[in-house]
Structure formats: C-alpha cells, structure tokens
Structure 1
C-alpha cells in the first residue's frame, strides 16, 4: 500500500512550535525561511521566490512569513545578508590567527573566491539579479552590516600590508578598492564566461591572487599612478 504523503497542514503541525516571546525560536524560523527562499531561487530563479512558496516550503501558514519580512524585497535583502554572512564566515575562518599581512590577504581572498565558485547560484543572486543591479538596492546591499564587516576587514588588511611593506597607509582604501575590483572581475569571468577555455583553477587562482597582492603592494608604496603620456602633458602644461 503506497505511503500517504503528509498534507501541508500536517507538515505545519509537526513543526517545532515557535513559542511566544522566544527569540531563539523566532531566529530559527527566520533562518528556515531564508534557507527555503534560497533553495527556491536555486531551483527556479527569482520568479520562484514568493512569500507563499516560501511558506509552503517551510510548512507554515501563508501569512506567517510576513511576521519576519515585510515583502519579497525585504526577504531578498535577508537572503543577501544570509549568503554574504556565509562567505564572510568562510573568509574569517581561513584567515583566523594569520599574522603575516600578505598571507592573511591571500587566505581571505582564496576563501572568498572558493565560496562563490562552490556556490555560483549564490553569486548570481547577490550580484547579478535585476534587484541587485538597481541603484536603490545596491545602496541597500552596501548598507548591510555584513557588507561593512567585509569592507572593514579588507581595509584593515591593506593597512597591515602597508606597514609590512613600507607603504603608505593613506593609500589603504585605494589598495582595497583594487583588491575588490580585481576579485570581482575574476569571479565574473570564471562564473559567467564559461565558454572561454580558462586555465585550470588550481593554477589560475593562485596566479591571480599573487598578481593582485603585487598590485596592492605597488599601490601602497607608490600611490595612484598617472600614465606616462598624461604625466608628460601635465608637465608641459605647467611649464
């Protein structure tokens, strides 16, 4: 005799109850909602992520998600935070206890790239969906606490690299910007341009990271550079 599948009502009844006033229970359910939304995105794209679908996936009433997220936009921002936190934790774990500045940056960047290459759908959600390419949502994404944590960690590492290499800490922000620009370009190329016959990742990734570190160190030592032709024009204009 075939096994009867439980109805959504039965599934909801079997779930651990969220006790009134329990922050732990509320946090647990919120995490379940975010995980369900991320699974729906991976399976069916952004259109598959609806408040009702998330509720069905978790096994709760259709209105319950609205207690935690105002609407789909708020839910998406929660997923971005969820995904970025996972990438941050992997980066933090890889560089914990590493005192050498260059080694710390190497470990951070390697772990950061590793996370997105292992989870390409997460990368597309955070960086390539229509919502995340809109100006308002980009500002919202940049205002997330986890985003600030990642940027601050990069800036601290750049300052440490400046101290270690005899560079100027005043150029730490520029060096960090170069780091993020180069890493973003690497990830976009590897995860989006799949038709190009890339060198194997075990060779390409470390080679890229060393070039990025050299670029950061050069920036910290020499500051912003001016192309030779532009420098000559400026000198001629002043004479």
Structure 2
C-alpha cells in the first residue's frame, strides 16, 4: 500500500466519524435532525462528484478555446499586416509555435490533474458510503449507527492492514485474509463495547467481513446490510 492509499483511507475514517456526528449529538441530548443532515451531505457529495466527472469536458473546451483564439489572432495579424517577406512569415510561425507549446503544456498539466484524481478514486467510494448510510437511516432509522461503525472499522481496517501486511488472497476477490480478519476483530470489539451481546456481535461482524470482501460496492452495501441485520439482533 502506498502513501496515497493510506491518506485516502485516513480520510475515509474521518468522514465516517462525521457520519457518526448526529448520533453523538443525540447521545448528549442535543436536538439534531439526522434525516436533514444525511440528505444535505448526500446532495453535496453527489454535486461534487458531478463536477469531477465533467472535468474532462472542461479540459477539452479550454483546449479548443485556446486553439481557436490563437488561430484567429494570427489570421488577424496577417490580414492587418500583409506578410510579404519570408523573414516576417518565419517570425510569425515561430511565435505561433511557442504559443502552441504553451497550450500543450497547459493541456498536459490539466490531464495530469485528471489522472491524479482517477488514482485517488476515493471520492467515488466515499460517495457510495454516504449514500449507503443515508439509505440505511431512512430504512432502518437509528440502527444505521451500526452501519456507520462498520464503515469506520471493517472497511477501513481491512484495506489498510491488507495493503500493508496482506499476503494471502481470499478466493474470487483481491481482498486479503489478513485484512479481512483485522477488520472483523476491530468491528467485533466495537460492537461489544457498544453493549451488543457477544453472539449477535459475532454474527454481525462475520456478515460485515463477507460483504466488505465480496460486495460489488462495499461502501454502499456494507452499512445497509449491517443496519438491516442490526434491526433483528441489537
């Protein structure tokens, strides 16, 4: 696991803690509308990702605008000052070539930023996580708390530990045995500390471990599965 992935998962944990905020405030008898909080957070996150998705279109528009502006500029110069000598024409060509080089440099810098965003990729996962928690709250109300805790523990710990020390792959997935077991233990410990009976906590932790390892999008499905199961076991 590289430094970027560690930072991304650290951000994942921080945002999971933010998702816990409504429950923490309620615990301290502070009136807080969880439905409004999760709805607003979902809207903001979806809007942010929409901007990121459209960024390549912005880059092509900037490139097109610069090219057309350059061509028009030199056409106007040639119309205003008749180019009769080879020297004058050569100078204008060299100037245009330099400007074209600046355009290519700007385009390269923009494309580098886009590739860097694609490497980070965590924004998409975090968006699914927020949506998963929002759906969990509207379907299962305060049982969504257990879904949020599973995001902050099972998913994050499994990825970090698996990336740093994992050597044994689980079948049919790129997740590791070491990562999954670590996430399982941390979530199980958290549930026991929250007062969940051991057997129930064990079942919830096993389900969370399986969903984290094999779900198509674990950030979306993990909180939903755990919250649903918690309604029967907590």
TM (normalized to structure 2)? 0.28
TM (normalized to structure 1)? 0.27
Larger CA Rg, structure 1 vs 2: 2
Task: With a CA cutoff of 8 Å and minimum separation of 6, indicate the structure with the bigger relative contact order.
Answer: 2
